[in-house]
């Protein structure tokens, strides 16, 4: 290719080698120095110098020998591993109606988490206070000093300009347009902060610790109040040219005419997401097509997608049809994306994904029917197994990936060396 990223060539000398050694230990460690020489092609002396430096910097640590007699293990056989407990990441998952704040180690494993119902449209002032209270409590109860926060990752339910870390015209986040989330968090906690939209964060979470750990090309689809997708391309999150890749909620569904607030008609999220399911359920109840839904409606005055899920569990035919219908519409759109993108995995998550297997089987049916045979040959379509916490894991993993990027570690090693 004719373009070049000059940063790729920064420091092939000492510091870059140190960063490469760190990355290989972090990703596939524990490893001995001899393993590292074999896997990197670096000389023994280079590996020796840099592992010493990485140990001093606290980026890696010696793994305890399994027989506990460390003394008997030769220095070159001593295993080295990522010092994942050397600091913490704060991971924030802000939803339309909920807030989860996790305290994670540097491998994005959740140490502790606090959750509450709240409303994102309460605006930044109230929500930021709630976040601060949660962080304070988490640090206190886990006896962690402020300065141990290495970074903050956060997912929000709307479009984000990633480099600036601000929501941009988010439809369901009134009061948040251009709010400087990244800046506010960085100043308050004196550490780097990274903000992205919730589906991107969830896709990163599935890649880091979910169903997609060994998958290079996949799509994560969140079905809740809206519908959106996070795209992983060759192991990296793909954001598109304006950062809005994966915005599949406004793809038109064949034969649908319903108006969408975006100005178009028949958009996928208007005809298939949570509110559409609730609306169809209300009509079914009023038309006396479902006794269960009617009884729910009489008791509560309104119906939600969760009520439909409850009725499905009781084998209510009208509710099953409603869920299948949503699955078909989603499957229709997904089948087109499968032809275009040829992923090897599609993960379905979000609130509506909890509504049972009828949804996913309808999606699968449509994809098998409409995608080309080569594109579906090894395609898996799965429900997220970590639906409740994948956004927190993903927010932490996003922060860790950024903080320990190759360029950043190269610079850390370089600065630690004085000069090189």
- Tell me which residues in 39-78 interact with a second copy (CB under 8 A): 39-43, 46
Residues from 362 through 381 that contact a second copy (CB under 8 A): 369-370, 372, 374-375, 377-379
The yes or no reply on residue 240 touching a second copy (CB under 8 A) is yes
Minimum separation from the CB atom of position 145 to a second copy (A): 28
SS3 state of residue 17: helix
Beta-bridged to residue 230, according to DSSP, are 220
The yes or no reply on residue 342 touching a second copy (CB under 8 A) is yes
The stretch among 76-84, 119-127, 250-258, 349-357 that binds a second copy (CB under 8 A) is: 250-258
Q: Tokens 């922060």, residue?
A: 399
Judge residue 75's burial from the number of C-beta atoms within 10 Å of its C-beta, 0-12 exposed, 13-18 middle, 19 or more buried.
exposed
38 vs 288 by CB, closer to a second copy: 38
Kind and range of the H or E run holding 88: strand 88-94
Using alpha carbons only, give the angle 24, 40, 10 rounded to the nearest 5 degrees: 80
114 vs 370 by CB, closer to a second copy: 370
The stretch among 11-19, 70-78, 194-202, 388-396 that binds a second copy (CB under 8 A) is: 11-19
Residues 71, 91 contacting (CB under 8 angstroms) = no
The single residue among 69, 72, 140, 340 that binds a second copy, judged by CB under 8 A, is 340
DSSP, res 61? E
Q: Give CA separation, 142 vs 104, 109, 148, in Å.
A: 11, 15, 12
16 vs 96 by CB, closer to a second copy: 16
Site string for a second copy, 216-235 (x = CB under 8 A): xx-----------x-x-xxx
How many chain residues are in contact with a second copy, going by CB under 8 A? 77
Which of 313, 300, 304 has the alpha carbon at shortest distance from 352?
304
Residues from 378 through 407 that contact a second copy (CB under 8 A): 378-379, 401
The yes or no reply on residue 2 touching a second copy (CB under 8 A) is yes
Long-range Cβ pairs for the range 59-67 (8 Å, 24+): 59/22, 59/83, 59/86, 59/409, 59/412, 60/22, 60/25, 60/26, 60/29, 61/86, 63/29, 63/30
The stretch among 85-93, 242-250, 277-285, 381-389 that binds a second copy (CB under 8 A) is: 242-250
The single residue among 341, 354, 368, 382 that binds a second copy, judged by CB under 8 A, is 341
119 vs 245 by CB, closer to a second copy: 245
Query: How many CB atoms sit inside 10 A of residue 241's CB?
Result: 6
Site string for a second copy, 297-336 (x = CB under 8 A): ------------------------------------x-xx
Minimum separation from the CB atom of position 282 to a second copy (A): 28
140 vs 234 by CB, closer to a second copy: 234
Q: Name, in order, each residue with C-beta under 8 angstroms of 186's C-beta and a sequence gap of 6 or more.
A: 152, 192, 193
State the Cα–Cα distance between residues 259 and 286, nearest whole angstrom. 23
Minimum separation from the CB atom of position 376 to a second copy (A): 9
The stretch among 86-94, 136-144, 254-262, 294-302 that binds a second copy (CB under 8 A) is: 254-262
């Amino acid at each position: 290719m004719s373009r070049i990223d000059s940063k790729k060539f920064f420091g092939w000398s000492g510091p870059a080698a140190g960063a490469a050694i760190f990355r290989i230990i972090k990703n596939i460690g524990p490893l001995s120095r001899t393993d590292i020489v074999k896997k990197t092609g670096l000389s023994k002396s280079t590996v020796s110098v840099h592992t010493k430096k990485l140990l001093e910097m606290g980026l890696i640590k010696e793994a305890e020998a399994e027989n506990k007699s460390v003394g008997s293990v030769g220095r070159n056989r001593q295993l080295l591993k990522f010092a994942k407990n050397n600091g913490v990441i704060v991971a924030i998952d802000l939803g339309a109606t909920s807030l989860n704040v996790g305290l994670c180690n540097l491998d994005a494993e959740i140490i502790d988490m606090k959750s509450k119902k709240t409303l994102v449209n309460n605006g930044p002032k109230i929500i930021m206070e709630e976040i601060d209270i949660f962080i304070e409590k988490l640090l206190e109860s886990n006896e962690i000093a402020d300065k141990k926060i290495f970074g903050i990752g956060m997912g929000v339910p709307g479009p984000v300009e990633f480099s600036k870390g601000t929501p941009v015209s988010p439809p369901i986040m009134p009061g948040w347009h251009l709010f400087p989330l990244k800046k506010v968090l960085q100043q308050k906690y004196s550490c780097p902060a990274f903000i992205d939209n919730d589906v991107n964060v969830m896709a990163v979470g599935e890649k880091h610790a979910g169903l997609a750990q060994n998958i290079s090309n996949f799509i994560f689809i969140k079905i809740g109040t809206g519908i959106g997708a996070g795209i992983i391309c060759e192991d990296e999150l793909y954001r598109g040219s304006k950062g809005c890749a994966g915005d599949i909620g406004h793809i038109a569904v064949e034969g649908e005419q319903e108006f969408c607030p975006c100005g178009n008609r028949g958009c996928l999220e208007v005809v298939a997401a949570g509110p559409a399911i609730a609306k169809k359920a209300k009509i079914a109840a009023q038309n006396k097509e479902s006794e269960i839904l009617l009884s729910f409606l009489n008791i509560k005055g309104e119906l939600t997608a969760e009520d439909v899920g409850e009725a499905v569990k009781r084998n209510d035919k009208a509710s099953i049809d409603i869920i299948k219908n949503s699955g078909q519409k989603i499957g229709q759109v997904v089948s087109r994306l499968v032809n275009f993108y040829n992923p090897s995995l599609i993960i379905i998550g979000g609130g509506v994904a909890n509504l049972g297997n009828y949804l996913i089987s309808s999606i699968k049916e449509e994809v098998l029917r409409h995608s080309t045979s080569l594109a579906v040959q090894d395609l898996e379509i799965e429900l997220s197994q970590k639906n409740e916490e994948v956004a927190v894991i993903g927010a932490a993993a996003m922060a860790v990936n950024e903080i320990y990027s190759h360029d950043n570690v190269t610079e850390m090693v370089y600065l630690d060396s004085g000069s090189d």
